[in-house]
Structure 1
Amino acid sequence: MNELMNSGALNIAALALSLLVTLVGLIVWFFVNRASVRANEQIELLEALLDQQKRQNALLRRLCEANEPDAAAAESAEKPQPPADDFVRLVAER
């Protein structure tokens, strides 16, 4: 009779252990899956941001090219040279 009770207790203990392992596995899977979904969302947002930055760079490049003066006009225009001591007056003496 004692042998039957021990085998029944072992079966219940094995069942409880397997349920506990299954529960821990599901909890671990939940957090791993959640982290994976968040990482995928962040990747999508970063890719969208990269695409917008590429478009902004292209627009900026076109604006810079449109606002460039002609090469001949730039060579013919003389630029006045600022006096050399301008920066000296801006620096405070210690």
Structure 2
Amino acid sequence: MGELLSSGLLNVASLMISLVILVVGLAIWFFVNRASSRTNEQIELLEALLDQQKRQNALLRRLCEANEPEQKDAPKEAVVEDKEDEDDFIRLVAER
């Protein structure tokens, strides 16, 4: 009779241990799955931000290219005048 009770207790104990391991495993799976889904959402958001930044950069380049000819014309003339001034200055220096 003692053998029947002890074997029954062992079966119940092993069943309880199995259930505890199952619950712990499910809890771990839940948190890993939750972290994975949050990571995927963050990756999607970062990709959307990257797309928007690329579009903004393209628009800025277009704006800069549209404004460049007006800005470049004035400095080129100034540079040409500076070169002429340098030639005049060289003419003033006496040669040895």
CA RMSD of aligned residues (A): 2.4
Alignment of 1:59-70 (within 5 A): 59-69=59-69
Q: Deviations over 1:4-26 (max 9, x none)?
A: 00000000000000000000000
Which structure 1 residue ranges, 5 or more long, are not aligned?
80-94
- 1:16 corresponds to which residue? 16
| Residues 53 and 10 of structure 1, relative CA distance in 2, 3 Å threshold | same
The one-letter code matched in structure 2 to 1:65 is E
Which structure 2 residue ranges, 5 or more long, are not aligned?
80-96
The number of aligned residues is 81
| Residues 72 and 45 of structure 1, relative CA distance in 2, 3 Å threshold | closer
Alignment of 1:72-87 (within 5 A): 73-74=73-74, 77-78=77-78
More helix by share: 2
Q: Kindly, what percent of the aligned residue pairs are identical?
A: 68
Distance in 1 separating the partners of 2:64 and 2:72: 18
- 1:91 corresponds to which residue? none
Rg larger in structure: 2
Distance in 1 separating the partners of 2:70 and 2:53: 28
TM-score of the superposed pair, with normalisation by structure 1 = 0.77
